[in-house]
Structure 1
C-alpha cells in the first residue's frame, strides 16, 4: 500500500515552533517530508550524517511538525518512517504578536505599509479560523487577477470605481441588526505586480562567469 503524503496547510502561531520550522535545514526536511522518509534517506539527500538528521527530526516532531508513520525492523535496528504533518506551513504574524504590523497603527490607507498590515491581519485571522476548524472547511472567497493600466489616471479611476462598487455592495447586504448574522471581514487590495525572478545565476561583475 502506498504511504499517504502530507496534505493541507498548517498555520504556525507559536513563536518557538516558528523558529524551529524556519531553520534552513529543518525547512528542507519539512519540504522533503511531504513524502514519508527515514533519517537514512534524508541524510543522503542533505549530504550529512544520520545522527544530525535525527537531531533535527526530533525537534520537528516535538513541535508537531513531523509525525511517525511506522517503524521498520532492519536487522538489529528499528528504522522510523516519518512525514510532515501538513503539505505546507505558513507562519502567522501571531507568532511575533508584539511586533506584528497593525492596520490601526498605519493612518495612511494609501501606503504600502497599511496594505502590508492588512495582509498580516488577514493571514493572522484566517490562520486562526483554519486552526479552529480542524478538518472542517472554512467558508471563504478570494479573487486574484492582474490589471495593466495604460496611465496613472486610469489606475486612479479604476480605484475610485472599485471603491464605489464595493461600498454599494456593502450597503446593500450589510445587516447590522440581523439576528444570528455573522460578520465577515472584507479586504480588497491593489499593488504593482512583482516581476518574475531571473532564474539565471548572478555574476559578480560584468564579463565574469
Structure 2
C-alpha cells in the first residue's frame, strides 16, 4: 500500500468522490471483505460488493486474498493507498494553466501553479512506479510569522534574489546528460485552527492590503 496515490483518470476520480465509495476506501486502510464492510458502513452486502467491484476496476482497491467459506469464496480487499490526490489531469480541458496569467502576487496563480505541481509529480510517480524506481525530489515546508506587511515584502524580495542567485550558479544549459528540474516557491497565509482565528486572519490580511495600497 502506498502512502499517497495520484488519481489521473476522470472516471476513477468520480468513483473515489462517491460518498459511499470514499467511506469504503477509508475503511479499507486495513483488509476487509464485503460482509465485514457492510456491517461497518450500514449498507447491504450486495450493494457494498457492487461498489467494491467499481473501486477495484479503477485500481483503487486490490485483492489481498480469497477465503473459502462453505460453498462461497470471500474476497478480501485493501485500498491501494492510505490517501489519494486527484490530479488536475482528470479535469482534462478545464485544468488550471499557470501560463495564462502569470502573476507572482496572485493567490489564484499560486493555485494554478500548485495544480500543475500535482499533475506533473503525479505523472512522474506513475511512471516511476511502473519502472520500479523513485523520483528524485526535495521538499521544504515551514512557517514564518511576519511582524509587518513591510517585513513580508522584504522577505519575498530577499527570497527571490537568493533563489535567482542559486539558479544562476547551478543552471547549466549546455550540460551533457543534464536534466532540468522545476523549482517552485510559495508563500501564503497559514490556515487558522478555529473559526475565530480565521476571522481575525482575514481582517489582518485586509488591513495589510490597505497599508500596501
Higher helix share: 2
Q: Would you say how many aligned residue pairs link Structure 1 and Structure 2?
A: 193
1:117 matched to 2:118: no
TM-score (structure 2 length as normaliser): 0.87
Secondary structure of 1:31's match? helix
1:187 matched to 2:175: no
Q: How does 1:31-110 map to 2 (within 5 A)?
A: 31-110=26-105
Equivalent-residue separation in structure 2 for 1:118 and 1:91 (angstroms): 15
Task: Using the TM superposition, give the Cα deviation of residue 24 of structure 1 relative to its aligned residue in structure 2, in angstroms.
Answer: 1.0
Q: CA RMSD in A?
A: 1.1
Task: Using the TM superposition, give the Cα deviation of residue 196 of structure 1 relative to its aligned residue in structure 2, in angstroms.
Answer: 1.8
Q: Unaligned 5+ residue runs, structure 1? A: 1-5, 199-209
1:204 is matched with none
Query: For the Cα contact (< 8 Å) 1:106–1:113, is it kept in 2?
Result: no
Q: Deviations over 1:52-88 (max 9, x none)?
A: 1001001001111111111111122221111112222
Equivalent-residue separation in structure 2 for 1:61 and 1:107 (angstroms): 40
1:147 matched to 2:156: no
Secondary structure of 2:151's match? helix
Q: Deviations over 1:93-122 (max 9, x none)?
A: 000021111111123221001100110010
Q: Unaligned 5+ residue runs, structure 2? A: 196-213
Which shifted more, 180-189 or 63-72? 63-72
TM-score (structure 1 length as normaliser): 0.89
Secondary structure of 1:103's match? coil
1:15 matched to 2:13: no
